Amino acid sequence: MNSLLRRKSFEDLMENTQEKKLTKALGAFDITLMGLGIIIGTGIFVLTGIGAAKYAGPGLMLSFVLAAVTCAFVCLAYSELASFLPVSGSSYTYAYASLGEIFGWWVGWSLILEYSVGASAVAGGWSAYLVGILHACGIDLPKALTAVPADGGIINLPAVIIVLLATALLVVGVRESAKVNRILVFIKVGTIFLFLFLAAPHIEPINWEPFLPYGYAGVAAGTAVLFFSYLGFDALSTAAEETKNPTRDMPIGIIAALAICTILYIAVCAAMTGVVPYTMLDTAAPASYVLEYIGMHLGSAIVGTGALCGLSTVVLNMLFAQSRALYSMSRDGLMPMGLYKVHPKFHTPYMIQIIVGLLVACITGFTPIHIVAETCSAGTIFAFLCSCIGILVLRRIYPDKPRGFKCPAVHVIAPLGFIFCAFVFSQLSSHTLLLFVGWSVIGLLIYLAYGRKHSTMNT
């Protein structure tokens, strides 16, 4: 039992950062843009339509608000954790240092689910927009190559291709990836404003009636699904070890990204449900569909192209976060040490990056998007729950260690974050919860068979 609950010390974690294997190339602006790059994506361009049609109707705006309030509590905790422990690994590292090795492994295993499945869902949305744009241009790709087997196809080939391209870029280097991300984020944000400019004049308030067709239960269920849209700031903390001044830059980037994204989410949701009756929004490309609905075919094509750029940044950043979490786990011996390799020229964990890319490509090529999105939310929320507890434990263990950012009223904020996250977790479907439990059991068996024996804490 002692070995299961042994903690990675602050000194050991900080010693890892002294290896200087990963390049410190990111500033506060890059972190903010990375946040916009990963948060603004599937939430606006894919799940808004599905969430309105199946879960909350126009009340989906309240779902975004509830998700944002929950994330605000967690966001403050993550800002302190990222400035206190500026190392790769995100929630995995925080849980390892605060709750012990078994919880660190459990959270790390959940992050594998979160980022792999999340990137797969986003790639599926990317494919839907590409197919829609090509259809508008008179080009129809065969369904066998654009749909998963459950939807009558053989493989979702466009989704596989975008995952492999993003993987190749990440292998080349974080600095190059950040440059591409910056360009794509500006295109994406511009696309959102263009959509609002074109759609807003066509809003019919009657479409917002009834505002809560599925009641408050629908709002809560919508929040559980949309939580997937806010997992970006969690992924941001995986970049701490590659940030120039993490104690300053990480809190600024995390908080700024969350605030900007929430405002844009609510605005886009209001426009979509105000222009098109919510029952008609059950599509993986709702932004393009809304503009097609009001006859703006050129605008639909432009917004669809911008959505492609936007979703590309999400795939890029999720794959980045996944590889960094696994990099930290292999460095600690919980995963095979052979994965703990940094490319001598590009200074990136290329072995893990390639493996992650191939795994995600397989998932996105053959799995329906709605299943992967909700399963991803389960892994995200569990990581948040552990981080809300972890920050209190670290305050007790290391009360005098310097922190670049301190969560205000931490003994109120952290418990509220835990309660809100627990509520959202309880709203997940029984099918999703069973998948998460099954995933956790598999992870526990792997840890007991391999991780516990090979952990660097044994030496």
Full DSSP string of 338-400: GG----TTT-S-HHHHHHHHHHHHHHHHHS-HHHHHHHHHHHHHHHHHHHHHHHHHHHHH-TT
Q: What is the pLDDT of residue 453?
A: 86
- Which residue carries 């599925």 as its tokens? 214
As beta bridge partners, residue 26 has 243
- How many C-beta neighbours within 10 Å does residue 367 have? 20
Residue 389: its pLDDT value, please? 93
pLDDT at position 441 is 93
**The pLDDT of residue 333:** 82
Helices (H) and strands (E) counted in the chain, each on its own, are 19, 0
Helix (H, G, I), strand (E, B) or coil at 137: coil
Residue 280 forms part of a structural domain: yes
A 10 A CB-CB count for 434 gives 10
In a domain, 136, yes or no: yes
- Has residue 4 been placed in a domain? no
Q: Is 206 among the domain residues?
A: yes
Question: What is the total count of domains within the chain?
Answer: 1
| Residue 43 near residue 229 (C-beta atoms within 8 A) | yes
**Contact call for residues 74 and 235 (beta carbons, < 8 A):** no
Domain carrying residue 346: 10-15+23-458
CATH code of the domain containing 334: 1.20.1740.10
* β-sheet bridge partners, residue 146: 156
pLDDT at 412: 93
> For residue 1, is it within any domain?
no
Residue ranges in the chain modelled with pLDDT below 70: 1-3, 14, 16-25, 41-43, 46, 88-89, 173-178, 228, 231-235, 237-242, 284, 339-340, 343-344, 346-347, 369-374, 459
Helix (H, G, I), strand (E, B) or coil at 177: helix
In a domain, 3, yes or no: no
Cis status, amide bond into 142, omega within 30 of 0:
no
Both tokens of 139, joined, read: 């080009």
Take residue 96 and report the two structure tokens written for it.
Answer: 């390892």
2 within domain boundaries = no
Q: How far apart are CA 364 and CA 153, in angstroms?
A: 13
Which pLDDT score is estimated for 334? 84
Residue 145 counted as domain residue: yes
Q: Which tokens belong to 396? A: 């007790």
**Residue 411's pLDDT is what?**
92
